[in-house]
């Protein structure tokens, strides 16, 4: 009798384990994997997109660029090859949204500092004053980690074309004079294929939490 009881006990345990495995397997099969959208110009507010690309519905990517970072190094897309990165636009003397955005970029930097897959890229929208030495001083003041985060300057037209034609993040094209500048709070998430996978309010803490979540989701696509 005791042997029968022990056998039934073992059988019940095995049956329970099998039931858990089956239920988990069914749940996994029925639950779709979370996946981020691939943003195309025709999916974005037309005010933020250059008229030459507003009609594009597929295959949009960030175009090639050549800029100079806080250390005087030339930065191109090669630096971000096979990397996920977060891009934004700022200027060092901004006293409104930029300080908050920079603080949030620093929070992101802290989270990704040991992650070789993820980098940061901040473009100055006021290259006339944001020279390499100015960017370097700003980077040192804020605690920028050079290997993780490039603060870049360069030709104003080139930067603004990137903002409107590649990152789809600016209402201005910079043609209104020397003080016509981008003033966007957008953080843009770019994948390893140079595609845009998300837009986030760089001044909003909850939006930054969503960005950190989406980075994890995006990383799973490459597993």
87 neighbors 65 (Cβ within 8 angstroms): no
Concatenating the DSSP letter of every residue in the chain gives -HHHHHHHHHHHHHHHHHHHHHHHHHHHHHSPPP----B-GGGS-GGGS-TTTTT--S---PPP-EEE-TTS-EEEGGGGTT-EEEEEEE-TT--SSHHHHHHHHHHHHHHHTT-TTEEEEEEES-TTT--HHHHHHHHHHHT--TTTEEEEB--HHHHHHIIIIIS---S--S-S-TT------EEEEE-TTS-EEEEEETT-HHHHHHHHHHHHHHHHHT-
Task: Please compute Rg for the chain using Cα positions.
Answer: 23
Query: Max CA-CA distance within the chain?
Result: 94
41-221 folds as Glutaredoxin (3.40.30)
CA atoms of 13 and 85, how far apart (whole Å) = 48
pLDDT at 81 over 90: yes
Q: What is the pLDDT of residues 95-129, one digit of tens each?
A: 999 999 999 999 999 999 999 999 999 999 999 99
Instruction: Give the HSE-up count for residue 69: Cα atoms under 13 Å, Cβ half-sphere.
Output: 20
Question: How far lies 213's CA from each of 126, 155, 202, 216, in Å?
Answer: 31, 34, 15, 5
108 neighbors 120 (Cβ within 8 angstroms): yes
Residue 171: which pLDDT band, with cuts at 50, 70 and 90? confident
Q: Which residues participate in the annotated binding site for Cu cation?
A: 94, 98, 183
- The alpha carbon of 72 is separated from its chain's Cα centroid by a whole number of angstroms, namely 24
Residue 28: which pLDDT band, with cuts at 50, 70 and 90? very low
Give percent of the chain above pLDDT 70: 81
154 neighbors 181 (Cβ within 8 angstroms): no
- Domain boundaries, given as residue ranges, for the chain: 1-31, 41-221
Q: Which residues participate in the annotated binding site?
A: 94, 98, 183
Q: What is the reported pTM?
A: 0.85
């Amino acid at each position: 009798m005791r042997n029968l009881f022990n056998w039934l006990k073992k059988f019940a345990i095995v049956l329970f384990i099998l039931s858990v495995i089956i239920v988990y397997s069914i749940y996994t099969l029925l639950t779709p994997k979370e996946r981020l959208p691939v943003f195309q110009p025709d999916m974005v507010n037309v005010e933020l997109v250059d008229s030459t690309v507003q009609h594009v519905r597929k295959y949009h990517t960030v175009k090639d660029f050549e800029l100079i970072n806080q250390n005087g190094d030339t930065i191109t897309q090669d630096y971000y090859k096979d990397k996920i990165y977060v891009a934004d636009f700022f200027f060092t003397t901004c006293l409104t949204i930029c300080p908050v955005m920079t603080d949030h970029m620093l929070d992101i930097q802290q989270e990704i500092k040991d992650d070789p897959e993820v980098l940061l890229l901040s473009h100055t929208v006021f290259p006339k004053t944001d020279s390499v030495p100015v960017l370097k001083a700003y980077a040192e003041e804020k605690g920028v980690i050079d290997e993780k985060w490039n603060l870049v300057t360069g030709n104003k037209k080139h930067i603004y074309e990137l903002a409107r034609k590649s990152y789809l993040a600016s209402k201005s094209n910079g043609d209104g004079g020397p003080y016509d500048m981008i003033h966007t709070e957008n953080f843009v998430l770019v994948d390893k294929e140079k595609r845009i996978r998300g837009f986030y309010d760089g001044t909003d803490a909850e939006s930054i939490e969503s960005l950190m979540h989406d980075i994890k989701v995006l990383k799973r696509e490459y597993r």
